[in-house]
Amino acid sequence: MRGQEIISRLRTGWMGREIRVLDEADSTNLRVKAAAGEGASAGLVILAEQQTDGRGRRGRAWQSPGGENIYMTVLLRPDFEPEKAPMLTLLAACAAARAVYQPGEKRPQIKWPNDLVMDGKKICGILTEMGMKGVSTEYVIVGIGINCNQTEFPEEIRQKATSLKCEYGHEVCREEIVARFLQEFESLYEEFARRKSLEFIQDEYETLLVNEGKRVCVLEPGKEWTGVAAGITETGELIVKKDSGEICEISSGEVSVRGVYGYV
Ligand code: BTN
């Protein structure tokens, strides 16, 4: 990945104006967290060709082989309350969906809250973490992994992971996708910072939502139930209609959702 190739394509005001491309990192989230502690400015982006300790949600590992994919983390210093930080993840998912789409190719979909999928398999995961100072947000870091040109997947994830190259049938330019993502994310982030709500993106998100109108299995600590997904709220909760007719709003911190027949 060539930093210069990203910079020459970048059309942002502040996001990605400082970009560090590392040959290897333990985790780009850890690198950005360290930089945040040293006073780095909002908009810093760290990319790595490979990660030795790539992290996923719920304490899982994110497999990060070298030279084929995107491993990238963005530093934000929002002035809004910590409760709003999870909404940034949904914005990042929309930005990633816009960035990877190529006219004439398959459209990515979003598995709530923030996985991108194609043909029922995952192509992108997002891990958002937050640093607090007292009761306020000191920083938010948004880490994105996009499977770009990888074609071989380890046995244990082969059934549920894919890449843009596998789906499109040709290589993709990682620098172009990074530049597009940063441009889309900056514009969505600024709109969100003005409105403090996801209302402006609800329609687009629901159009992309792979779960929309489908039966989902909600996994709460200690219990499991099913219902039909019916969109998101303006704060990013998934709306699920139980068979009894009761409408529930579920937030991503508490529960996870999967299709009743598998991953989506
Ligand atoms: C998930 O779906 O579980 C989230 C995966 C997030 C992976 C990205 S890769 C770049 C950044 N650095 C990490 O260690 N994790 C995120």
pLDDT at residue 254, rounded to an integer: 60
Structural contact between residues 110 and 120, judged by C-beta atoms closer than 8 angstroms: no
The predicted model gives 229-250 an average pLDDT of 94
Interior angle at CA 39, CA 19 and CA 20, nearest 5: 15
Convert the pLDDT of each residue in 137-162 to its tens digit. Answer: 999 999 999 999 999 999 999 999 99
Q: How far is the CA of 61 from the centre of ligand 1 (A)?
A: 8
Quick check: 202 pLDDT over 70?
yes
Residue pair 62/51 in contact by the 8 Å Cβ criterion: yes
128 within ligand 1 shell (Cβ under 6 A): no
Q: Is the Cβ atom of 3 under 6 angstroms away from ligand 1?
A: no
Answer yes or no: is the C-beta of 107 below 6 A from any ligand 1 atom.
Answer: no
Q: Report which ligand 1 atom has the smallest distance to the Cα of 122.
A: 2
From 41, 50, 49, 46, select the one nearest 19 (Cα to Cα): 46
Q: Does residue 113 line the site of ligand 1, with CB under 6 A?
A: no
Residue from 68, 127, 163 whose mutation best tests the ligand 1 pocket (most atoms within 8 A of CB): 127
Q: With 70 as the cut, is the pLDDT of residue 260 above it?
A: no
Q: How far is the CA of 52 from the centre of ligand 1 (A)?
A: 12
What are 24-63's pLDDT values in tens digits?
999 999 999 999 999 999 999 999 999 999 999 989 999 9
The model scores a pTM over 0.85? yes
Q: Please give the average per-residue pLDDT across 76-90, as a whole number.
A: 92
Which residues is 128 bridged to in the sheet? 142
| Ligand 1 centroid to residue 102 C-alpha, Å | 23
pLDDT band at residue 262 under the 50/70/90 scheme: low
Spell out the residues 6+ positions from residue 186 whose beta carbon is closer than 8 angstroms to its own. Answer: 12, 13, 14, 15, 16
How confident is residue 171, by pLDDT bands cut at 50, 70 and 90?
A: very high
Q: Kindly report the protein residue whose alpha carbon is nearest to atom 16 of ligand 1.
A: 143
* Per-residue pLDDT at 261 exceeds 60: no
The answer to whether the CB of 27 is under 6 A from ligand 1 is: yes
